[in-house]
């Protein structure tokens, strides 16, 4: 198969220029609600890119590990969809942006969490993933799926992050008990193991190079570019990308959809996973986050990328946006 992005070297040069320009951004601050995040060097900055035909590019601290935090949410959602299908998953969780902060103690009008990308919904999704397994096997299942999504590379796990998350999780416990009281969980859900499973998923560690392969698997409709293996169904990927588009960037999701127009998910560790469907996946990491919890450089990189390249999903490929497009025109 010829490379999908025939001008890949030129794209890499363009991304290097943007990466360097965005490095000047020093706004935001490192999340410090747990010491394991507070101690991270604020100057860390990395990027990994993987195309749907497995071309790779990386910059900066691209192979330095960090914890996923909310970056685990879209993959857990995808795993729940694979296991139960869309109809059953959405009996329990909505698909509407909440317009509130990610850990707000609130449910939608029908007593379901608003969506799987905020904490209430992500905790609910954890209750749907292989609930019949004991906790160790359940976590192994998730790690195995991440390993496959990373093209065979097993992610790490920070026990220190997990212990800190668990110790400072009053809000997540409150959300869990509130949902239990409202009978939101499936019958027989064990609340504490479900919450612990959620904290463990947040404490999975990886880096930009590896995570770009996960994002590229989403970009290619569920086929891992590194192995050619089908890991997710096209429908699961579509649903996951839909919710990343509308809810993936905390309470900046509407702004991000407007200005960048790409499915993305951020985590308070400073990672942003970005998917350009049918083209490539990207992971940017820079730990200083803004008030919403989004990496300042991550968001700036995405904005700069979309003002130079024709990648906003609603950029016309016919209408002559005047922007660069490594695909060329669809119908020249
Ligand atoms: N572990 C964090 C929490 O559940 C996730 C923070 C995030 O990345 O949004 O509060």
Mind listing the pLDDT tens digit for each residue in 44-93? 999 999 999 999 999 999 999 999 999 999 999 999 999 999 999 999 99
pLDDT tens digits along 284-303: 999 999 999 999 999 999 99
Q: What pLDDT, on the 0 to 100 scale, is given for residue 3?
A: 59
Give the β-pairing of 288-289 and 264-266.
Answer: unpaired
Q: Which domain holds residue 161?
A: 8-313
H/E segment holding residue 281: strand 280-285
Judge if the beta carbon of residue 281 lies within 6 A of ligand 1: no
**For ligand 1, mutation pick of 31, 37, 102 (most atoms within 8 Å of CB):** 102
Q: What is the mean pLDDT of the chain?
A: 95
Cα distance between residue 157 and residue 162, in whole Å:
8
Tell me, yes or no, whether 331 lies in a domain: no
**322: confidence class by pLDDT, cuts 50, 70, 90:** confident
Query: Which residue among 33, 38, 70, 290 is best mutated to probe the pocket of ligand 1, counting the most ligand atoms within 8 A of its Cβ?
Result: 70
Answer yes or no: is 318 within a domain: no
Domain annotation covers residue 319: no
pLDDT for residue 186 is more than 60: yes
Could you tell me the distance, in angstroms and rounded to a whole number, from the CA of residue 108 to the centre of ligand 1?
Answer: 20
> Distance between the two ends of the chain, CA-based, in angstroms?
22
CATH assignment at residue 265: 3.40.710.10
Number of separate domains in the chain: 1
95 phi, psi to nearest 5 deg = -140, 40
- Check: CB of residue 33 under 8 Å from CB of residue 327: no
Question: pLDDT, tens digit, for every residue of 240-295?
Answer: 999 999 999 999 999 999 999 999 999 999 999 999 999 999 999 999 999 999 99
Judge if the beta carbon of residue 74 lies within 6 A of ligand 1: no
Ligand 1 atom index nearest CA of 69:
8
CB atoms within 10 A of CB 62: 22
Residue 2 lies in a domain: no
Q: What is the pLDDT of residues 227-238, one digit of tens each?
A: 999 999 999 999
Inside any domain, residue 323: no
* In a domain? residue 179: yes
Query: Is residue 176 lining ligand 1, measured as CB closer than 6 Å?
Result: no
Question: Is the pLDDT at 330 greater than 70, yes or no?
Answer: no
Residue 206 maps to a domain? yes
CA–CA dist 297, 274 (Å, integer): 13
- Give 155's DSSP letter: P
Rounded to an integer, the average pLDDT of 174-179 is 97
| Residue 232 belongs to a domain | yes
Q: Which residue's alpha carbon is at the smallest distance from atom 9 of ligand 1?
A: 70
Q: What is the pLDDT of residue 222?
A: 98
């Amino acid at each position: 198969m010829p490379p999908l992005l025939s001008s890949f070297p030129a794209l890499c040069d363009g991304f290097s220029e943007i990466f360097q320009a965005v490095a000047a951004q020093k706004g935001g601050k490192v999340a410090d609600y747990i010491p394991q995040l507070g101690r991270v060097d604020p100057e860390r900055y990395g990027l990994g890119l993987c195309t749907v035909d497995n071309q790779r590019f990386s910059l900066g601290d691209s192979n330095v590990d960090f914890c996923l935090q909310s970056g685990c949410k879209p993959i857990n959602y995808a795993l729940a969809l694979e296991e139960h299908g869309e109809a059953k998953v959405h009996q329990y969780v909505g698909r509407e942006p909440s317009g509130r902060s990610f850990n707000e103690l609130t449910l939608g009008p029908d007593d379901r969490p608003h969506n799987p990308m905020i904490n209430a919904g992500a905790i609910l999704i954890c209750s749907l993933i292989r609930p019949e397994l004991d906790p160790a096997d359940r976590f192994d299942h998730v790690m195995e799926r991440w390993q496959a999504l990373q093209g065979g590379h097993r992610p790490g796990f920070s026990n220190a992050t997990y212990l800190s998350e668990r110790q400072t999780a009053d809000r997540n416990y409150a959300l869990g008990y509130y949902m239990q009281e409202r009978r939101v969980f499936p019958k027989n859900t064990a609340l504490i193991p479900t919450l612990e499973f959620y904290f463990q998923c947040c404490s999975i560690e990886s880096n930009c190079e590896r995570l770009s392969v996960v994002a590229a698997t989403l970009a290619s409709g569920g086929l891992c570019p590194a192995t050619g293996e089908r890991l997710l169904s096209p429908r699961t990927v579509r649903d996951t990308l839909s919710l990343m588009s509308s809810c993936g960037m905390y309470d900046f999701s509407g702004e991000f959809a407007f200005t960048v127009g790409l499915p993305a998910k951020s985590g308070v560790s400073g990672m942003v996973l970005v998917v350009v469907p049918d083209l490539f996946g990207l992971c940017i990491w820079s730990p200083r986050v803004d008030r919403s919890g989004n990496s300042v450089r991550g968001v700036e990189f995405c904005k700069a990328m979309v003002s130079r390249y024709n990648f906003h999903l609603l950029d016309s490929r016919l209408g002559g946006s005047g922007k660069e497009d490594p695909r060329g025109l669809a119908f020249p």
